[in-house]
């Protein structure tokens, strides 16, 4: 149950937003953030609660996003694999430094998740375009700009690991200007899960997330710039 406790703890400091992969060299590869590591501070009412490093890469299984998060004295590691032709999520694994493991395999219609031997399956929600694992860390939000860019549908099925349950994530463009602490040319999307909204601002050229704002709970993810 260590993974569950780690994820349940993470949910307090992060947003509770609410067929195999093709080779990385396949044709029709979609746009995604450049290879590299991006660091974020998780803030609540001006106090730093956690840090997260998001690393993008690729291998023969697909596009890889890894996250290493430090939440107090707890370290959590996750790895998510995306289909390079669609940016649909295909595999997920995660766990804390103290042990325990969560794993998931996904296709376009279903996801099967295993928490320390406890397996559960979920189906895609009607009128959504794909399924994503929402572990309440930074990675779910960091991946959304690329996922939405690859598929213009306005809904995603989010599997919230802290429950676990399937929830519909509604995604729409933001019409207002970016906040003062992000580049003025950034694009934005609003994500609503279980009646909780978050604004995500990202670089239009790279699809790298710069900031997440959850004003209802005064939570922010802020990219650290060198």
Of residues 99 and 186, more confidently modeled: 186
* Residue that the structure tokens 């995500």 belong to: 200
Give the chain as a DSSP string: -HHHHHHHHHHHHS-----PPPPTT-SSPPP-PPSEEEEEEEEETTEEEEEEEEEEEEETTEEEEEEEEEETTEEEEEEEEE-TTT--EEEEEEEETTEEEEEEEE-SSEEEEEETTEEEEEEPPTT---EEEE-SSSHHHHHHHHHHHH---SEEEEEETTTTEEEEEEEEE--SPPPTTS-TT-EEEEEEETTEEEEEEE-TTT--EEEEEETTTTEEEEE---
Q: What percentage of the chain exceeds 70 in pLDDT?
A: 86
Residue 31, pLDDT > 60, answer yes
Measure the CA–CA gap between 143 and 54, rounded to whole angstroms: 10
Domain count, the chain: 1
What average pLDDT score do residues 65-74 get?
A: 94
Tell me the two tokens of residue 142: 């960091």
Measure the CA–CA gap between 122 and 133, rounded to whole angstroms: 11
What average pLDDT score do residues 17-27 get?
A: 39
What average pLDDT score do residues 194-199 get?
A: 93
Average pLDDT of the chain is: 86
Residue 7's pLDDT band, with cuts at 50, 70 and 90, is very low
Q: What value, to the nearest 5°, has the Cα angle with vertex 56 and ends 53 and 58?
A: 150
Q: What is the pLDDT of residue 101?
A: 82
Q: What is the pLDDT of residue 19?
A: 33
Q: What is the pLDDT of residue 99?
A: 64
For residue 91, list its beta bridge partners: 81, 105
Residue 109 lies in domain: 2-223
Residue 8's pLDDT band, with cuts at 50, 70 and 90, is very low
Nearest CA to 50 out of 71, 67, 66, 68 is that of 71
For residue 84, list its beta bridge partners: none
Residue 23, pLDDT > 80, answer no
Neighbours of 190 (CB within 10 A): 16
Q: What is the pLDDT of residue 28?
A: 65
Q: What value, to the nearest 5°, has the Cα angle with vertex 84 and ends 10 and 201?
A: 50
pLDDT tens, position by position, 139-189:
999 999 999 999 877 799 999 887 889 999 999 999 889 999 999 999 999
What average pLDDT score do residues 31-60 get?
A: 96
Measure the CA–CA gap between 92 and 104, rounded to whole angstroms: 5
């Amino acid at each position: 149950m260590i993974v569950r406790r780690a994820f349940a703890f993470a949910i307090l400091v992060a947003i509770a937003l609410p067929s195999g992969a093709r080779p990385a060299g396949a044709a029709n590869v979609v746009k995604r953030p450049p290879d590299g590591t991006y660091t974020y501070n998780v803030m609540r009412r001006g106090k730093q609660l956690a840090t997260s490093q998001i690393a993008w890469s690729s291998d023969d299984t697909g596009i890889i996003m890894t996250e290493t998060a430090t939440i107090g004295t707890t370290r959590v590691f996750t790895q998510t694999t995306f289909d390079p032709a669609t940016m649909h999520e295909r595999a997920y694994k995660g766990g804390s430094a103290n042990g325990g493991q969560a794993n998931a395999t996904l296709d376009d219609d279903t996801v099967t998740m295993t928490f320390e031997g406890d397996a559960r399956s979920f189906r895609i929600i009607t009128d959504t375009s794909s399924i994503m694992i929402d572990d309440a860390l930074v990675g779910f939000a960091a991946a959304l700009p690329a996922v939405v860019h690859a598929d213009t549908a306005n809904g995603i099925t989010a599997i919230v690991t802290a429950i676990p349950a399937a929830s519909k994530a509604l995604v729409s463009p933001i019409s207002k200007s970016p906040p003062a602490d992000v580049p003025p040319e950034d694009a934005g999307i609003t994500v609503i899960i279980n009646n909780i909204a978050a604004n995500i601002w990202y670089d239009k050229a790279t699809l790298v997330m710069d900031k997440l704002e959850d004003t209802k709970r005064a939570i922010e993810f802020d990219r650290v710039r060198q």
